[in-house]
Amino acid sequence: MDDVEAAVIAAAEAHLRACQLGDLLPRPDDCLACYLHRALRYSLCNGRLTLTHEWQGHQRMRRRRTGGLTAWLKSRGGCCDCEVLLNVYPDREPDLTPGRGRCAHPAWR
């Protein structure tokens, strides 16, 4: 194998890794549940709604309504990020289809 060939293969492998990682990273356009499923692979729940509020910030930037989100989640037993998944969205299977831009669920309710 010559150097050029090796460089092409290395570039292709790096690209593939980046794509696979991209498929695992939290996607702000996903619904809250799918976002949390992905985000909680990278950070542990800290007993607060930190990741939920991160998602909410993304929605705000996209001018999507999330008014009353925190109160709504807490009234359903979601007082921290992992509880949101356990108590608020127990039946919502994460849509982890690779290569898709966002999941097919409604944003949060």
Interface residues with Zn ion (CB under 5 A) are 31, 34, 45, 80, 82, 95, 103, 105
- Residue placing its CB nearer to Zn ion in the complex, 18 or 78: 78
- Residue placing its CB nearer to Zn ion in the complex, 1 or 71: 71
- Residue placing its CB nearer to Zn ion in the complex, 1 or 98: 98
CB of 14 to Zn ion, least distance (A): 29
CB of 45 to Zn ion, least distance (A): 3
CB of 7 to Zn ion, least distance (A): 39
- Distance from C-alpha of 104 to C-alpha of 109, rounded to nearest angstrom: 13
DSSP class of residue 86 equals I
Q: What are phi and psi of 101, to 5 degrees?
A: -75, -35
- Residue placing its CB nearer to Zn ion in the complex, 17 or 100: 100
Q: What are phi and psi of 50, to 5 degrees?
A: -60, -50
CB of 99 to Zn ion, least distance (A): 15
- Compute CA distances 66 → 25, 44, 109, whole Å: 22, 24, 10
